[in-house]
Structure 1
């Protein structure tokens, strides 16, 4: 498989899932192309994924001047790291992001410094460099916003903080698809597990649960996870997402009350939650669990919850 080999999955309704092959992994981060009068790319993925995404769009008949819009659910590098590259490849595309993230796409220097502190040398392998996007091409949305997909079809953005303060969910008026980003956690299609995604510094339990309630109230027909793929069991999945968040927060509270440091807290939480996930069973390929640990590690989740508990204390 070369660097730009594409995996495209038609999902119906002129929606195509693109495996962005983050850091060379398959089935870890998805972008989505909505084809129509005004083609729209949701979640371009990392900078390293940009050639893969460009090859997929070419295969789907979308040329350099054809892409109308690029939308990100939030500015974490696994979702938005490729925005600058994609903006250069598609010079007519408008870039849509929540207002709290817009300045970081125009000037990524502060975001990249923070990411470098967290990831060190592995940053380049995992994500690459987020390049600046001309501020004139960025449209910031607030509590709600609308993206014109052409033919009367639209994508409606809904501010959904909790995972990140600059997070939005995106609802397709025609299909009822809801692009959930990371607000509902990580879905593992191989085992149908739902795991939390609670990294520092923005995670907040009550805010996240409120966003999940907002998603439920929208009445989506299908959830489209960036990690990873479509889910039609909407109610059950959103409920499971909320339940897992509560379980992890309760266990981290226990660890904090016991005065455990981060390493010991992570070990305790992993041990207590292992049986909740089919991906942990001995008959499941351990590589599946390993690739999701790269993406959304137990250490990152526990650190984010610890940070939130300290903030409230």
Structure 2
């Protein structure tokens, strides 16, 4: 199986998990320390791709010590059950609000099928249950032993999802940001918000970004997609985009617009903010970002949040 593995330094390897067959849409990361750790295994459909990449990097079925997810959305954690079966020694680490869904994923899968319908199988596949005895839940902070005194420290960072954590590597200063800092578009260096229902909350999300700043990471590792060294500027842009989108949706809501009209208004209001609007001309690139970070999903999440507060 063809794999795309990129060394990032510090014994960290980026793995293109080929979500739904697309390249450059979702990244997993292997920390090849004394106790190898896989961060963000991706979807169930991605599990064979991830397994092939780990084999290429010399990590066999008995070697993987831990699998860690920033949150339980299916593009990040849908493959946990598959990977747990492939690597029977690996401990699975997740925030406490997400642990029960990895052990018993039926409710999560029902909700996802209501949102995605028949596209669910093509995009994500089926999240398989993981033995609860192998799952370790973390609270506001936690620590994963990478061996040799190296640790992956977790920091609760809700706003995108109530079960979201950021992960900081004690040796490299890498911060795995999940979706809490939005989507980083490699091709154009754009940062777009990720505000899906039902958990998005602006003030909570902004506090999580403040927490990330306070950690003073050396590098941000985005699940979507890749490493970013302009840490302060990127986190500031992430916060700015959240404010712009929420303000636009507030204006649409105040005008009494329905979701479709609000989406059209937000698209018009934000189109000049992103180089991708003019520089991404390949239909496949356009399609993959609409799947990954659709405007309609973002607007629906913001509207849901505004309705809750109202």
Q: TM-score, normalised by structure 2?
A: 0.99
1:294 aligns with 2:291: yes
Report how far residue 288 of structure 1 moved.
Answer: 2.3
Q: Structure 1 residue 258 and structure 2 residue 276: aligned?
A: no
* Residue in structure 1 matching 2:21, options 7, 11, 24: 24
In structure 2, the residue matched to 1:43 is 40
Instruction: Report the counterpart of residue 167 of structure 1 in structure 2.
Output: 164
Cα distance in 2 for partners of 1:200, 1:51 equals: 29
Matched position secondary structure for 1:271 = helix
Q: CA deviation at 1:285?
A: 3.4
Q: Distance in 1 between matches of 2:66 and 2:223?
A: 18
Of residues 93, 102, 116, the one that matches 1:96 is 93
**Counterparts of 1:5 and 1:165, CA distance in 2:** 35
| Residue of structure 2 in register with 1:144 after alignment | 141
Counterpart for residue 267 of structure 1: 264
TM-score where L is the length of structure 1? 0.98
Residue in 1 that maps onto 2:244: 247
Structure 1 distance, partners of 2:62, 2:33, is 14
Mapping 1:111-260, distance limit 5 Å: 111-260=108-257
Q: What secondary structure sits across from 2:160 in the alignment?
A: coil
Q: Separation in 2 of the partners of 1:121 and 1:284?
A: 27
Q: Which moved more, 1:136-145 or 1:281-290?
A: 281-290
After TM superposition, give the deviation of residue 36 of structure 1 in Å: 1.5
Structure 1 spans left out of the alignment, 5+ residues:
none
Deviations 1:128-173 (A, max 9, x none): 0000000000000000000000000000000000000000000000
- 1:107 maps to which of 82, 104, 107: 104
The 8 Å contact of residues 279 and 288 in structure 1, kept in 2 or not, is answered as no
Write out the 4+ residue segments of structure 1 that deviate beyond 6 Å after TM superposition.
Answer: none
Q: Would you say the 8 A contact 2:188–2:279 is kept in 1? A: no
CA distance in 2 between counterparts of 1:145 and 1:122 reads: 35
Distance (Å, rounded) in 2 between the aligned partners of 1:171 and 1:111: 27
RMSD: 0.8
* Matched length: 310
CA distance in 2, matches of 1:181, 1:57: 21
